[in-house]
A and B are shown apart, each in its own frame.
Chain A
Amino acid sequence: MRQLIVHYWKEKVRSPFWQKSIFLNILLGFVAIYLILNFIALSLFADKILLNAYPNQSVIFSFSKILFYYFLLDIVFRFFMQQLPVISIQPYLTLPIRKRTLLHFPLIRSVFSFFNLLGLVLIIPFFIKVIASTETVSYSLCWLITVISLIFINNFINFFLKKSFSKKPLVVIVLVALIGLLLFMDVTGTVSISIVFANFLSNVSLSGFWVLVPLATLFFFYYLAYALLKNNAYIESPENKVNANIGKFRTLSNKGVIGSLIGSELKLILRNKRPKSVLYLSAFFLLYGFIFYNELYLDKIYMLAFVGLFVTSALAIIYYQYVFSWESSFFDTFLVQKISANNFVASKYYLFALMCTVSYLITLPYAFINYKIAIVNTAMFLFNVGISSIIIFYSGTFSVSFIDLGKSQFMNYQGTGAHHFIMMIPLFGLPLLIIWLFDSFGMKDYGIYALGIIGALAIIFHKYCINFVSHQLVRQKYRMACGFRE
């Protein structure tokens, strides 16, 4: 077991990703600390806040109700974001280590995940300040055990959900919808499960004996996760991976080199886990409009432009931020085959334009909210196709890290580098700067027209833009290929 921990640690520390992007890790570290501090503060002042909001209820009761919401949302967030600790089991299977140890290891490791820590910092300050100081010892103890069990029940439920449903998007949608419905009914007061939950929590704590129920549930879910891992502990035979998804896009290959490159890239998106999950993720960005298109923001031209930039290019920007990294595992193919850099970039440019067009058309109905949106989005659409594409492609030539196409996108920073953060400056800054220039001369709305015209010009002269990127690609190709091979 100790050896396993050492190996796990080495795997993490020696992974090229960790060693390369220290910058990104520091950034993530700050976000984590910020979240933890927020949760501690929230927990410490929860009694005051809750007393203000619900003066008629006991603070513990209100807190329990809030916990119910927290646990529900926790499951959803865990499902999408928590990475299960996987130690690649294959090299150990034939060694004289008991299989049971190998299976318990990832389960126990998952106990130390960030999500569990978040749950604990939300509960413990409140527990010390409010419960432990006012209630009896047995009550406090039972309360704490129950709540902590619930956190870890979520942890192990997630194993179960991830292993069984991650390949079936429909089930995920149903699950999210179900939780949403529960929350909705609770908030509107139709059926309030949170009250049931809060009562349950207080009864369990009062009775003492019943604390065995959450504990038993915890062990049940632990066992369930264990059984699941055990079933998956055999190396999968590749013969099972037969697919029927062939023969598509064949017509594209009749359209010359660029056509077959586009066809190949479409297959890349549809047949690999990570690009596919990018597609799902970007669908959420299309919904951004519902948050921002309201009275509060409709007069703010900067905000409209910003949201317009995003919703008309959601697919393209998110997918193409890894523009050349997607091909990292077979980048050498493009170096030795009869494919010019120009055609390679051009195929990506046309697909980028296609994706923008799709998201532009999908989001056009937002114009029913206000006609302004149609104007802004059209301008931003032209700007995206003409200028944003070139900024993103240019930045893509600086990527040197390998991407594993088979992993999920959520909380996956493989392939992310400092250039992504630098890229954001011109990507978002340039359009806002142009609007600001016009704004400072008192011609606010003309900024938008200017963006549209600049974009249209760039589209007309797209051959030059593509040339510009492909020259850069040729300059960078050895460096990129060398990084991708690692």
Chain B
Amino acid sequence: MIEISNLSKVYGKKFSLTIPTLAINKNELVGLVGNNGAGKTTLLSLMLDLIPATNGFVKSKGMAVSKSEDWKNYTGSYLNERFLIPYLTPTEFFEFIGGLHGKNASDIALFLKENEAFFKEDAYDKTYIRDLSAGNKNKVGILAAILPKPEILILDEPFANLDPSSQLWLKSKLKELNNNGVTIVVSSHDLKHVTEICSRILILDNGKLVKDIPTNSNSLKELENYFNVSSI
């Protein structure tokens, strides 16, 4: 589904991300972990063509994302607040995004009803997104990413700022989507969340892919050991 070859991104002399090769297959649920500054967001931004690669390319369904815009039709994503239009209300924003994918107001109302447990839209229907709390912005962004029923879902730190029940909800939602065939890439600092839901875990350190392991019952221990050692 997503292929990376010879990808590198250089920022000045201090930081560079290099990934010689990586393939993410259809229906995988990939967790991306790494300490601050490891290059998680850089990698996700390259997958979404938000920044130009210094070398190499990311291919989605066999097409380079920097060349063709087809990936936008089937990719849902939320990295940060800059993906939200601050002066719209959540409902207007969902309608805007939905409209781009040919969904009408009643489709969207139905979608919001289904996901009411996560984000109670009517409580905020008179508030602009810019006035929402960080957690609620995050929720709006995540819902807008899954609203168009994407085949690929890319989320950066989706569990950050979420309350406990929303975290649980999101975990089961991601599993459910994955069971329905959606390919998912999530980054997170929470090793527990990642080992619970992901089928494959990638560890980035200082711009390099240092581990690529399938999840099993020992994964959490393994990860904890890894991060313990590298921090000392």
Interface residues, chain A, CB within 8 Å of chain B? 238, 241-244, 246, 250, 253, 257, 260, 264, 267-268, 271-272, 329-333, 335-340, 405, 478, 481-482, 485
Bound CA span A28–B144, Å: 44
Contact, CB under 8 Å: B72 / A337: yes
Shortest Cβ distance from B95 into A: residue = A253
**Chain B residues whose CB sits within 8 angstroms of the CB of A482 once the complex forms:** 51
Contact, CB under 8 Å: B83 / A333: yes
CB distance from B144 to the nearest CB of A (A): 9
Kindly identify which residue among A246, A257, A337 contacts B89, using a CB–CB cutoff of 8 Å. Answer: A246
Interface: B119 (CB within 8 A): no
**Chain B residues whose CB sits within 8 angstroms of the CB of A332 once the complex forms:** 50, 79-80, 82-83
Contact, CB under 8 Å: B86 / A238: no
Which of chain B's residues 69-89 have a Cβ closer than 8 Å to chain A?
Answer: 69, 72-73, 75, 77, 79-89
Shortest Cβ distance from B71 into A: residue = A336
Contact, CB under 8 Å: B84 / A333: yes
Known: A246-B92, A267-B92. A337 touches B97 (CB 8 A): yes
Contact, CB under 8 Å: A257 / B82: no
**Chain A residues whose CB sits within 8 angstroms of the CB of B153 once the complex forms:** none
Contact, CB under 8 Å: A244 / B126: yes
Bound CA span A246–B88, Å: 9
**Chain B residues whose CB sits within 8 angstroms of the CB of A257 once the complex forms:** 99-100
**Chain B residues whose CB sits within 8 angstroms of the CB of A268 once the complex forms:** 87
**Chain B residues whose CB sits within 8 angstroms of the CB of A331 once the complex forms:** 82
Stretch from B15-23, B127-135, B166-174, B197-205 at the A interface = B127-135
Kindly identify which residue among A242, A260, A271, A485 contacts B87, using a CB–CB cutoff of 8 Å. Answer: A271
Interface: B96 (CB within 8 A): yes
Shortest Cβ distance from B132 into A: residue = A238
**Chain B residues whose CB sits within 8 angstroms of the CB of A337 once the complex forms:** 72, 97, 100
CB distance from B58 to the nearest CB of A (A): 13
Interface residues, chain B, CB within 8 Å of chain A? 48-52, 69, 72-73, 75, 77, 79-89, 91-92, 95-97, 99-101, 125-128, 131-133, 148
Shortest Cβ distance from B105 into A: residue = A250
- 22 A–B pairs (Cβ distance < 8 Å), ordered by A: A238-B131, A238-B132, A241-B128, A244-B126, A246-B91, A253-B95, A253-B96, A260-B99, A264-B85, A267-B87, A267-B88, A271-B128, A330-B86, A331-B82, A332-B79, A335-B48, A335-B50, A336-B49, A338-B72, A338-B73, A340-B69, A405-B86
**Chain A residues whose CB sits within 8 angstroms of the CB of B133 once the complex forms:** 238
**Chain A residues whose CB sits within 8 angstroms of the CB of B125 once the complex forms:** 246
Contact, CB under 8 Å: A478 / B126: no
Contact, CB under 8 Å: A338 / B96: no
**Chain B residues whose CB sits within 8 angstroms of the CB of A478 once the complex forms:** 51-52
Contact, CB under 8 Å: A330 / B131: no
Known: A268-B87, A335-B49, A478-B52. A241 touches B127 (CB 8 A): yes
**Chain A residues whose CB sits within 8 angstroms of the CB of B82 once the complex forms:** 329-333, 485
Shortest Cβ distance from B69 into A: residue = A340
Bound CA span A337–B101, Å: 10
7 smallest A-B Cβ distances: which pairs?
A271-B87, A332-B82, A238-B131, A338-B72, A478-B52, A338-B100, A241-B131
Kindly identify which residue among A243, A338, A405 contacts B101, using a CB–CB cutoff of 8 Å. Answer: A338
Which of the listed residues B72, B75, B77, B82 has the most CB atoms from chain A within 10 Å of its own CB? B82
CB distance from A239 to the nearest CB of B (A): 9
**Chain A residues whose CB sits within 8 angstroms of the CB of B127 once the complex forms:** 238, 241-243
Bound CA span A90–B44, Å: 33
Contact, CB under 8 Å: A243 / B52: no
Known: A253-B96, A330-B83. A336 touches B75 (CB 8 A): yes
Known: A241-B127, A267-B87. A336 touches B69 (CB 8 A): no
Contact, CB under 8 Å: B69 / A481: no
**Chain A residues whose CB sits within 8 angstroms of the CB of B75 once the complex forms:** 336
Contact, CB under 8 Å: A336 / B86: no
Bound CA span A338–B89, Å: 20
CB distance from B36 to the nearest CB of A (A): 17
Shortest Cβ distance from B133 into A: residue = A238
Kindly identify which residue among B86, B96, B126, B148 contacts A242, using a CB–CB cutoff of 8 Å. Answer: B126
Contact, CB under 8 Å: A329 / B126: no
CB distance from B52 to the nearest CB of A (A): 5
CB distance from A119 to the nearest CB of B (A): 38
Shortest Cβ distance from B89 into A: residue = A246
CB distance from A137 to the nearest CB of B (A): 59
Kindly identify which residue among A244, A260, A336, A339 contacts B48, using a CB–CB cutoff of 8 Å. Answer: A336
Bound CA span A335–B50, Å: 7
Bound CA span A97–B124, Å: 37
Bound CA span A340–B73, Å: 11
**Chain A residues whose CB sits within 8 angstroms of the CB of B95 once the complex forms:** 250, 253, 260
Bound CA span A175–B85, Å: 35
Shortest Cβ distance from A335 into B: residue = B50
Kindly identify which residue among B48, B86, B92 contacts A329, using a CB–CB cutoff of 8 Å. Answer: B86
Shortest Cβ distance from B104 into A: residue = A254
Contact, CB under 8 Å: B72 / A336: yes
Shortest Cβ distance from B154 into A: residue = A336
Bound CA span A268–B93, Å: 12
CB distance from A158 to the nearest CB of B (A): 28
Contact, CB under 8 Å: A264 / B88: yes
CB distance from B85 to the nearest CB of A (A): 5
Contact, CB under 8 Å: B126 / A260: no
**Chain B residues whose CB sits within 8 angstroms of the CB of A271 once the complex forms:** 87, 128
**Chain A residues whose CB sits within 8 angstroms of the CB of B73 once the complex forms:** 338
Bound CA span A161–B127, Å: 28
Known: A267-B92, A332-B79. A339 touches B100 (CB 8 A): yes
